[in-house]
Chains A and B, each alone.
Chain A
Amino acid sequence: MSTRPAVSTAPPALSRARSVHQLWLAREFGIVVALGLLVLVTTLDNPAFLSPQSLRDLLLGAAILVVLAVGQTVVIISRNIDLSVGAVLGLVAFATGKLLSSAPGTPTVVAVLAGIGLGAVCGVVNGVLVAAARVPALVITLGTLYAFRGIDHSWAQGRQINASDLPRSFLGLGTATVLGVPVLAVIAVVVMLVVGFYLRSYRSGRELYAIGSEPAAARLAGIPVGRRVFTSFVLCGALAGLAGVLYAARFGTVDATVGTGIELQVVAAAVVGGVAIFGGSGSVHGAALGALLLTTIGSSLAVLRINPFWQQAVVGGLILAAIGLDRLLAVRAANRLRGRSSHGG
């Protein structure tokens, strides 16, 4: 951001941190308001929208996107991007289906861990290429998007795994509820809270923000940039793997095209949730809200009997509105800070 003011003394730096924090709060509050308005309008039109069944469907639909968006946020915050998450999701979903259909006795926990592990391996590939070869993440993960998807296709050979091939206990993961809340949604919330806590409260988590704000400065400050970036890709891959397992559990039917194009939805969720595309700011909570908002738009349009073809156009408009709003907030915050620091001397 070229509008960043030059702050040299300690008190303005503190107030700057506070106002950046306020900016995040305002940003996340904005999504909550948009979400609330959307639910309100839809419910007024059709009260069934708020029925327990409908809410469960909504949360089920959002859960997988939330898990992906949380992982993506960790990567984007450090000024990188992972476009391969959709391919990783597809590969892991197929691998999970293959594992469970050939060894139906496998406990669900083992399947979940195996999926996370395979996702993490994909993340290691991305992380090594980005961190060690020092190549832009956009290029690398575009390449691995193709590569992982190609591996998926050559493995599947056009076949598909059906729900009838999978053990019932595993499919139960996709439909089970705890106190009326789908397990998938609970998993998504836990992932969000854990990763959110890590980013907020752990030194290495804070360092990701520093890297995203200014990689060169972070390196000079002694932050092991390469190692942190590598870790963020492994984490993102592992979460994409988890999302792949959840996908297999929820839908049961898996072929090699699963998750095609979902990477753009994931990036959209993060951007709508206030994660700056060039790193340094944003939160997993915002990204999760963004994912929830995108999913809710989809089901609202259906309930409001609006041509479903409008959905994608609305999502596009929302992304543009979100980055426009971010820009506006950033400019206003910068102006305010400039006023303060000139008063302070």
Chain B
Amino acid sequence: MAGDPAAVNVPAPPTETTHGVLRSALVRWDTALLVVLAAVVVVAGVLVEGFASGRNFQFLLLDVVAIALIALPLTLIVITGEIDLSVASTLGLCSAVMGQLWVAGLPLELVVVLVVGLGAVLGAVNAVFVTKFALPSLAVTIGTLAAYRGLAFVVLGDQAVADFPFRWTDAASSTVADGAVPWAAVVTIVLAVVFGVVLHATPFGRSLYAMGNNAEAATFAGIRVARAKFWLFVASGAVSGLAGVYWTLRFASARADNAAGLELAVVAAVLLGGVSIFGGRGTLLGVLLGVLLLGAVRNALQLADVAADTLNIVTGGLLIASVVVPNVVAMSRTRLRRRPRHPA
């Protein structure tokens, strides 16, 4: 069970029935997402004017970068059975602090490092509450969701810092070789590979699934559950801080209310990507496909002049369908399987 990602495609031996079923289900979910995503791209490319252009592709990627970044560590956290709802508030507080530090005259290189460090510290605060005091992460991070956003307003009030140098703000949306792929997306993909390797190809990654399935059993198996979760929350904070830097530069504006409410969009993307909210199940590839699917649908409908707020119906519907459909299929399948044995 070294967990080579390529091994997922190998059919499981028949003895490992539950594992085999689980694995092929996962593969099918990722495949299904890919098929749906491809269908959306093709249909939108044909029907929606302006969708299939390099420029739109660039904007689509720029729009999903922040969600994709935050979704990476969050995927690992949800797989362990925890959750971090404070990510968007961490982003907002980091953005506000970035603005104040820049106003105070610090060089931006240093500011970026400090802000990512601040994100890590904020994540560590969550981690201490969750791992040292053994409090439920859902409640803790609802608390820090409010606290961090509140501190962001304390730091920056309702003002905006918008005088960042053009060199930096342009960099946030610049593309590789002036094509359609933004550098920010490249950074995201590199980080995604790192997180993907950690999750799917290291003992540490395998242990995350174990603790998500049964934390107690994982502890008895010698896995240091608290320590692993601690560092995941720190990573979540640091990456949210990085997303804060990106958000601030991309929109050339440090504001306390930056990305308010984004936590729900990120959680929606992670769950749509096939990660079980109870932990123990999910792949990073699925989550990235989920992020892209939500982004592509929103982008296409926006181009088709559907009001942005109405799009919420689609987001909500996709999220509900993503959990209800597999469940109903599984339930009816077990019913079918039982029928021959227990004729009514």
Interface residues of A in 15-31 (CB under 8 A from B): none
Do B264 and A145 touch (CB < 8 A)?
yes
Partner of A154, one of B148, B153, B307: B307
> A305-345 toward B: CB 8 Å interface, digit per residue (1/0)?
00101111111111110011001000000000000000000
Q: How far is the CB of B257 from chain A (nearest CB, A)?
A: 11
Q: Are B309 and A150 in contact (CB-based, < 8 A)? A: yes
Inter-chain contacts of B271 with A (CB < 8 A): 139, 142
Contacts of B304-318 to chain A: CB distance below 8 A = 307, 309-317
> Across the two chains, which residue of chain A brings its CB closest to B260?
A261
Distance in angstroms between the alpha carbons of A327 and B139 in the assembled complex? 12
B7 at the interface (CB under 8 A from A): no
B:124-155 near A, CB below 8 Å: 129, 133-136, 138-140, 142-151, 153-154
8 A Cβ contacts from A139-163 to B: 139-140, 142-151, 153-154, 157-158
Flag if B313 contacts A147 (CB, 8 Å). Answer: yes
Q: Which residue of A lies closest to B309 (CB)?
A: A153
Most buried by A among B133, B307, B312, B327: B312
- Of A134, A147, A307, the residue contacting B316 (CB under 8 A) is A147
CA distance A51 to B87 in the complex (A): 41
Cβ of B268 within 8 Å of any chain A Cβ, yes or no, is yes
Chain B residues touching A, majority SS: helix
Which residues of chain B have C-beta atoms less than 8 A from A138's C-beta? 138, 277
How does the 8 Å CB contact mask read for A252-269 relative to B, with 1 for contact and 0 for none?
000010001100100110
**Contact of A316 with B136 in the complex, beta carbons under 8 Å:** no
Given A133-B327, A313-B150; A2-B216 close (CB under 8 Å): yes
Are A151 and B268 closer than 8 Å at their CB atoms?
Answer: no
Asked if A277 is an interface residue, CB under 8 A from chain B, the answer is yes
Q: Residue on A with the closest CB to B148?
A: A316
Q: Which residue of A lies closest to B145 (CB)?
A: A264
Given contacts A135-B323, A136-B323, A311-B150, contact A324 B312 (CB under 8 A): no
Given contacts A316-B145, A327-B134, are A147 and B317 in contact (CB under 8 A)? yes
How far is A310 from B256 in the complex, measured between Cα atoms in Å?
12
Contact B143 A129 (CB under 8 A): no
B313 contacts A146, CB within 8 Å?
yes
Q: Note all chain A residues with C-beta closer than 8 A to B267.
A: 142
Residue of A nearest to B314 (CB): A150
Per-residue B-contact encoding for A235-277, CB less than 8 Å = 1, 0 else: 0000000000000000000001000110010011001000001
In the complex, A164→B248 CA distance in Å? 41
Residues of B within 8 A of A153 (CB): 307, 309-310, 312
B35 at the interface (CB under 8 A from A): no
Interface size on A, residues (CB 8 A): 48
Query: Any chain A CB within 8 A of the CB of B113?
Result: no
Distance to closest chain A CB from B325 (angstroms):
9
Asked if B120 is an interface residue, CB under 8 A from chain A, the answer is no
Interface positions of B from 86 to 145, Cβ below 8 Å from A: 129, 133-136, 138-140, 142-145
Question: Hey, which chain B residues are within 8 Å of A260, CB to CB?
Answer: 261
B319 & A142 in contact (Cβ 8 Å cutoff): yes
When distances are taken between beta carbons in the complex, the residues of chain B under 8 Å from A135 are 323-324, 327
Among B136, B142, B278, max chain A CB count under 10 A is at: B142
Tell which of A139, A271, A310, A311 touches B323, judged by Cβ atoms closer than 8 Å: A139
A129 CA / B148 CA spacing, docked (Å)? 33
Enumerate chain A residues within 8 angstroms of B317, measured Cβ to Cβ: 143, 146-147
Contact B309 A149 (CB under 8 A): yes
- Which of A149, A313, A315 is packed against the most chain B CB atoms within 10 Å? A313
Contact assessment for B150 and A134 in the assembled complex, using a CB-CB cutoff below 8 Å: no
The answer on a CB contact under 8 Å between B151 and A149 is no
Looking at A139, A144, A261, the one whose CB has the most chain B CB atoms below 10 A away is A139
- Our pick among A133, A277, A316 for the contact of B147 (Cβ within 8 Å) is A316
Smallest CB gap from B86: residue in A: A316
Question: Is the Cβ of B319 less than 8 Å from the Cβ of A324?
Answer: no
The answer to whether A313 touches B277 (Cβ under 8 A) is no
> Which residue of chain A has its CB nearest to the CB of B157?
A309
A316→B154 CA distance, assembly (Å): 13
CA A309 to CA B152, docked complex, whole Å: 9
Q: Report yes or no: B307 in contact with A312, Cβ–Cβ below 8 A.
A: no
Contact A133-B328, Cβ < 8 Å, known A149-B312, A320-B140, A327-B135: yes
- B310-A150 in contact (CB<8A): yes
Residues of A close to B136: CB separation below 8 A: 277-278, 323
Residue of A nearest to B310 (CB): A154
CA A316 – CA B147 in complex, angstroms? 4
Interface centre among B154, B260, B316 (most CB of A within 10 A): B316
Write the nearest CB–CB distance from B323 to chain A, whole angstroms.
5
What residues on B are CB-neighbors of A142 within 8 Å?
A: 264, 267-268, 271, 316, 319
Q: Which residue of A lies closest to B153 (CB)?
A: A309
Inter-chain CA distance A139–B290, complex, in Å, is 15
- Docked Cα-Cα span, A150 to B139, in Å, equals 27
Whole-angstrom distance between the Cβ of A330 and the nearest chain B Cβ: 10
B145: chain A residues at CB < 8 Å are 264, 316
Residue in B133, B151, B307, B320 with the greatest tally of chain A CB atoms within 10 Å? B320
Q: Does B38 contact A (CB under 8 A)?
A: no
A323 CA to B314 CA, complexed, in Å: 35
Residues of A within 8 A of B313 (CB): 146-147, 150-151, 154
Taking CB atoms and an 8 Å cut-off, the chain A residues in 170-205 that contact chain B are: none
B331 within 8 A of A: yes
Q: Would A316 and B143 count as touching, CB distance under 8 A?
A: yes
Q: Give Cα A318–Cα B146 distance, bound, in whole angstroms.
A: 10
* 18 additional contacts (CB under 8 A) given A142-B316, A149-B312, A150-B316: A2-B216, A134-B331, A140-B324, A142-B271, A146-B264, A153-B307, A154-B310, A261-B261, A264-B146, A267-B142, A271-B142, A271-B143, A307-B154, A313-B151, A316-B145, A319-B142, A320-B144, A323-B140
Can you list 8 A-B pairs, Cβ within 8 angstroms, ordered by A? A134-B331, A135-B324, A136-B323, A311-B150, A316-B145, A316-B148, A324-B129, A324-B133
Tell me the A residues contacting B by CB distance below 8 Å.
2, 129, 133-136, 138-140, 142-151, 153-154, 157-158, 256, 260-261, 264, 267-268, 271, 277-278, 307, 309-320, 323-324, 327
